[in-house]
Structure 1
Amino acid sequence: MDGRDEKSARTALFEEHRPHLRAVAYRMLGSISEADDALQEAWLRYDRTDTAEVANLGGWLTTVVSRVCLNLLRDRAARREEPLQPTGPGGESGPERLPDPLLRREGVVDPEQEVMLADSVGLALMVVMESLSPAERVAFVLHDMFAVPFEEIAPLIEKTSAATRQLASRARRKVQERPAPDRDLSRQRLAVDAFFAASRTGDLEALVAVLDPDVVLRSDGGAALARHTLVLTGAATVAGQAAMWGKLSPFARPALVNGTAGAVVIADNGRAMSIMAFTVVDGAITEIDVIADPERLAAFDLSAFRDRPADDRPARP
Structure 2
Amino acid sequence: MTTSSTAPRDGRLDPMSGVVTGERRRLINLAYRMLGSVAEAEDVVQETYARWYAMSPRQREAVVSPGGWLTKVAGRICLDVLRSARVRRERYVGQWVPEPLPARTEWSAGVVDDSTADPADRITLDESVGMAFLVVLETMTPAERVAFVLHDVFRYPFAEVADIVGRTPAACRQLASSARRRVESSRAPLSPTGRQARVVREFKLAWEARDINALIGLLDADATAVGDGGGLVTARPHPIEGAERIARFFAARARPGRLAIRECAVNGQPGLVAHLDGTVVSVYAFDIANGRIRRIWAVLNPEKLRPWKRDPRP
State the TM-score, normalized to the length of structure 1.
Answer: 0.82
Shift of 1:290: 0.5
Structure 2 residue corresponding to 1:12, chosen from 15, 18, 24: 18
Contact 2:25 2:120 in 1 (8 A): no
Change (3 A) 1:120 1:72: closer
Which of 81, 105, 124 is matched with 2:90 structurally?
Answer: 81
Whether the 8 Å CA contact 1:196–1:246 is kept in 2: the answer is no
Amino acid at match of 1:46: W
Q: 1:237 aligns with which of 231, 238, 245?
A: 245
Amino acid aligned to 1:71: D
**Segment drifting more, 16-25 vs 200-209:** 200-209
Tell me the CA shift for residue 11 of structure 1: 3.0
Deviations 1:172-194 (A, max 9, x none): 11111223463633211100111
Residue 228 of structure 2 aligns with which residue? 220
Q: 1:296 to 1:102 in 2, by over 3 A?
A: closer
Identify unmatched segments of 5+ residues in structure 2.
Answer: 1-9, 108-117
2:62 counterpart of 1:56:
no
Judge conservation of contact 2:223–2:241 (CA < 8 Å) in 1. Answer: yes
Q: In structure 2, what is the equivalent of residue 26 of structure 1?
A: 32
The structural deviation recorded for 1:70 is 0.7
Q: Which residue is equivalent to 2:110?
A: none
SS in 2 for 1:127: helix
Quote the sequence identity (%).
37
Alpha carbon RMSD of aligned pairs, Å?
2.8
**Post-superposition CA distance 1:259-304 (Å, at most 9, x none):** 001111112x22322111112212211111111123443x23413x
Q: Where does 1:183-198 land on structure 2 (aligned, <5 Å)?
A: 184-198=192-206
Shift of 1:227: 10
2:48 to 42, 57, 64: 42
Change (3 A) 1:231 1:225: farther
Pairing partner for 1:145 from 125, 147, 153: 153
Distance 1:182 1:246 in 2: 29
Task: Return the letter of the residue paired with 2:165.
Answer: I
**Residues 245 and 178 (structure 1), Cα distance of their counterparts in 2 relative to 1, 3 Å cut:** farther
Aligned length: 291
Note if contact 1:264-1:275 (Cα within 8 Å) is conserved in structure 2.
yes
Q: Give the alignment partner of residue 307 of structure 1, picking from 296, 306, 312.
A: 312
Q: 5+ residue gaps in structure 1?
A: 85-93, 310-317
**For each residue in 1:174-215, what CA deviation from the matched residue of structure 2 results, as whole angstroms up to 9, or x when unmatched?**
111223463633211100111111122222221111111221
Q: Distance in 2 between matches of 1:163 and 1:178?
A: 23
Deviations 1:76-104 (A, max 9, x none): 224442677xxxxxxxxx8x521111102
- The equivalent of 2:214 in structure 1 is 206
TM-score, length of structure 2 as denominator length: 0.82
Deviation at 1:75, TM superposition (A): 1.5
* 32-41 or 10-19, larger mean C-alpha shift: 10-19
Distance change (3 Å), C-alpha of 1:82 and 1:33: closer
One-letter identity of the residue aligned with 1:307: P
Distance 2:235 2:171 in 1: 33
Work out the CA distance in 2 between the residues paired with 1:82 and 1:52: 43
Q: C-alpha displacement at 1:162, in angstroms?
A: 1.4
Secondary structure of the corresponding residue to residue 208 of structure 2: helix
SS of 2:24 mapped into structure 1: helix
**Deviation at residue 123 of structure 1 after TM alignment:** 1.3
Q: Judging changes above 3 Å, is the alpha-carbon distance between structure 1 residues 133 and 229 closer, same or farther for their aligned structure 2 residues?
A: farther
From 254, 263, 276, the counterpart of 1:254? 263
Is residue 273–residue 294 contact of structure 1 (8 Å, CA) maintained in 2?
Answer: yes
